[in-house]
Structure 1
């Protein structure tokens, strides 16, 4: 079985999304050293949002230090008020990734072994 290593610099949290798209937990923003006003670019797929720190970004960390997910991004990812999301900070890449819990469910389910000990991605447990 291939060995998997963990990047110790990466940190995670599960947080709630407010009615205006604000992520309740801002600890990972501090891990990235993103201060209020930090300009950001957001890329969204069906269940994942990647946030990059860029000088000319269209978005920014709020004045009180929170990340706001714009309505268009939330709608694309089907994220609603009070939904929880998994957030990961990648300091070595100056980026933050937000996954819907349906994406997390899919990632975890693909690693649950069947009766022969094989996972959906082919690994033996």
Structure 2
């Protein structure tokens, strides 16, 4: 299940804000960072991190990652990513739901604003979508050149690690 980005984002162009960098397809960046649907079974050819089968990020896409704890108001404690993106207090952000994640990006008609503390705030409906609650740790994946942050519940990180290591554990007889 995913909620498509609005027409302005689905046009495939994003402004990088860096001179000499052509706009890239922002949906490719989001697809490269999105997780598969729960219960999806990897194909036999899908060994640990089958990079040939994954969406590829452009080579010049710098990524930032962080883990932050969410409070009862939906604020995420990790602020370094927001600062690295150059998002300022009062700036409006669009929130889009994707499979098992939440995408934040600047938008003049965005539903949320960056608070004075320069943290992301997850709206209640998005928290319900991802089953995240106060005290949960969240994984933030940011593509500063594209001005986006994707937030995943820490259970998604658990799932990624299990899926990555499952084939090697099966061939090793479960021995680390």
TM-score of the two chains, using structure 1 as the length reference? 0.82
Matched, 1:100 2:145: no
- Map 1:64-75 to 2 at 5 A: 64-75=117-128
CA 80–2 in structure 1, closer or farther in 2 if over 3 Å, else same: closer
CA 43–37 in structure 1, closer or farther in 2 if over 3 Å, else same: same
CA distance in 2, matches of 1:87, 1:2: 21
More helix by share: 2
2:76 to 11, 23, 37: 23
Give the SS at the match of 2:164: coil
CA 93–20 in structure 1, closer or farther in 2 if over 3 Å, else same: same
Aligned residues: 117
1:46 Cα deviation after fit: 5.0
Residue of structure 2 in register with 1:50 after alignment: 103
What residue ranges of structure 1 are gaps of 5+ in the alignment?
118-125
CA distance in 1, matches of 2:163, 2:60: 21
1:60 to 95, 113, 116: 113
Matched, 1:12 2:65: yes
RMSD: 2.3
TM-score of the two chains, using structure 2 as the length reference? 0.59
Please, which moves more after superposition, 50-59 or 17-26? 50-59
- Rg larger in 1 or in 2? 2
What residue ranges of structure 2 are gaps of 5+ in the alignment?
1-49
More strand by share: 1
Residue of structure 1 in register with 2:22 after alignment: none
Are the counterparts in 1 of residues 61 and 143 from structure 2 also a CA contact under 8 Å?
A: no
